[in-house]
Amino acid sequence: MNHSLASMSLLPGETLGTFPASCSTETFTAILAGTPDATVKYAHAVPQNGSFGDAETNLLFPINATQLPALCAVGINVKSSANSSYNFGLFLPDTTWNGRLMTTGNGGYGGGINWFDMGALSHDVVNKYYTDTDGIQFSYYAACSTGGRQGLKEISSYPDSFDGISIGAPAWWTPHMGGALLYWGLLNYPASDPKHITPSLYQIIVDQVTAQCDGQDGLVDGIISDVHGCDFDFDTLLCTSSSDPATCLTSEQLATLKQFHSEWVGADGTFIFPKVTLGIDPTNLLGDGSDARLEHGYYTNWVYNDTEWDYTQFTFKDVLFADTIDPGSANANNFDLSPFHERGGKILHYHGDADTVIPSTSSIYYRDQVSEALAAKGVDLEDFYRLFLVPGMNHCAGSPKAPWYIGAATQTMPMPGGLVGTTHSVPGFEDADHDAILALMKASVRFVGIRIVRGKLDMAMDMKTSRNAQSVERFAPVNPGLLIVIINSYD
C-alpha cells in the first residue's frame, strides 16, 4: 500500500513459519532501504510473557502492553513533510505468527502509539521480515472513537486495506461532531443565564430518565435496554409551586434540556447532527457554563487556525463552512461502501447507548446513510455490516451497572492491569461468541454474514475479577441482536 495507516499489530496464533529475520535495527534499516524518509528508532526483543511500551513518555496511552508472546518490538519514524513526521510501532511475533495483521488507530486528538492494543506496521515490512512464509493472509482493523473514524475513512478510500474492521463509537462526521460538542456546551452557557442547568441537577435528570425508561423491558435493573424506544415525559422534571428547586427544573432550564435531546437543525432547516440519547450523564456535553468547558478546539485550531476566534458566536453556518474545507480530509462521510463489500470486507460496528462523548445516534445515522447508499445496488447490508448498540455502555468502554465488555479495542485500558491471566478475551470465553475480535476474524475468514444467533451473541455476563480469583457470576439476556458483553468489576 502506498498510504499510511495509524498503527498496526500482528496477531499471534498458529505458526506459519520458523524463526524470522534478526530483531535488530540493522535488519529493519535494510528492509526500509527503499524508503529514505523512514528511520528505525529501535528494535527490542521481548521475551515470552514480557511487556513493552513507552508509558513514561506516551501521554495518550500511558500503559505498557503486558503478557506478550515472544516478539520483536520495533519503532519507526517517517518524515512526511519538511517540518513533520509520524511514528509507528511494530509487534512481530517470533515463531507464533498466524499470518494475520491487526491495525489500530488513535483516540481524541492524540497522536500517541497505542501499545496496549499493540502497534503499527506496513505490509512491506512484515512480508520482508517473515521471509519463509506466504506473507499476510488476512488484515484486520480495530479501534474506537477517532480510531473508529480512521477505520471507516480507510475502507472508504482504500477498500483493499482490510478484510474486516471492528469499529467503536466512531467520530466519523468531523465538522459536525466538532460543531456539536461546541453547540451543546453553548446551550448551557453562560452560567448566569436563566436557561443554565446547574451540574447539581444532572443526577436528578438521569434518575428521572432511568425511572421512566428502565422498566420498559420488563426488568428494573438500573439499565435502560432500549433508550431509543423510551417515551420520556420531560415535564415530570418541571418545578411546581411546592417543589424544592434543588430537585427540579425551571421552564427555561427544561427548554435547554429538550433542545439538548433534540436533533440539531440550522436556522434554514439544514440537518446538522442527531439528538443526544436519553439517560446519559450530561456533565461532559453540557458542561458547567464556563468558558473552560466549551469544546472549541476543532474550530479554533483547524477550521479557522485562529486562537482569537470568538467561539461564543458559533452557529450552524460555521459547520457548513467547515464542510467545504474539511481540514485534513478527516471526514468519513463517503457512504458508498460497495467496493469494500464487493471484495468481501466485513464491518462489526458497536456503540454504547450511554456514551457521554459521541451519542449512539451518530452511529445509527451513519448506518442508515450507508444502507440508503447501497440499497439501489441491491446490497443486503447485514451480509457484511452489523451495528450493535450496547445498553448502558459509555464511550468505547465502561459502565457503572451494565454488562459491556466485548474484548474490543481500548476496552482493557480502563481496567487496572487488564484482565488477570489474559490480554483481551475473558478467561474461559476465548471464542467468537464472546470476543469481538475473534468474531471479526471468523466472519472474515469464512466470508459469511455477521449474523446473530439467539442464545449465543445475545447473552451478557457479569464477571467479577480480583487479583486472586475470577468467576462469571451471572448470565443476563439483553436485546436480541446485541453482541455479547461482559462486565468487569474489582474487589
Tell me the DSSP string of 22-86: --SHHHHHHHTTT-TTEEEEEEEEE-TTEEE--TTT-SS----EEEEPSEEEEEEEEEEETTEEE
Count of structural domains, the chain? 3
- CATH number of the domain that 336 lies in? 3.40.50
CA–CA dist 41, 348 (Å, integer): 34
Kindly state whether residues 275 and 340 are assigned to the same domain. no
pLDDT of 480 > 90? The answer is no
Kindly state whether residues 68 and 202 are assigned to the same domain. no
- Is residue 491 included in any domain, yes or no? no
Kindly state whether residues 201 and 298 are assigned to the same domain. yes
Kindly state whether residues 336 and 447 are assigned to the same domain. yes
What digits encode the pLDDT tens for the residues 273-327?
999 999 999 999 999 999 999 999 999 999 999 999 999 999 999 999 999 999 9
Kindly state whether residues 9 and 110 are assigned to the same domain. yes
- Is residue 464 included in any domain, yes or no? no
- Is residue 445 included in any domain, yes or no? yes
The angle, 0 to 180 degrees and rounded to 10, between the axes of the packed helices 251-260 and 174-187 is 170
Tell me the residue range of the domain where 186 lies: 174-324
- Is residue 224 included in any domain, yes or no? yes
- Is residue 241 included in any domain, yes or no? yes
pLDDT of 27: 94
pTM of the model: 0.85
pLDDT of 481 > 50? The answer is no
DSSP state letter for 264:
E
Kindly state whether residues 444 and 346 are assigned to the same domain. yes
Residues 6 or more apart from 16 whose CB is under 8 A from it? 97, 98, 99, 130, 133, 134, 137
Average pLDDT over residues 44-63: 82
- Is residue 141 included in any domain, yes or no? yes
pLDDT of 453 > 80? The answer is no
Kindly state whether residues 178 and 111 are assigned to the same domain. no
What digits encode the pLDDT tens for the residues 70-99?
999 998 888 878 887 877 788 888 877 888
- Is residue 213 included in any domain, yes or no? yes
Q: Between these two residues, 473 and 453, which has the higher pLDDT value?
A: 473
Kindly state whether residues 297 and 339 are assigned to the same domain. no
Kindly state whether residues 218 and 342 are assigned to the same domain. no
Domain C-terminal end among 292, 324, 356: 324
Kindly state whether residues 178 and 315 are assigned to the same domain. yes
Determine whether 454 is exposed, middle or buried from the number of CB atoms within 10 Å of its CB (0-12, 13-18, 19+): exposed
Domain C-terminal end among 93, 127, 161: 127
Domain C-terminal end among 273, 290, 324: 324
- Is residue 383 included in any domain, yes or no? yes
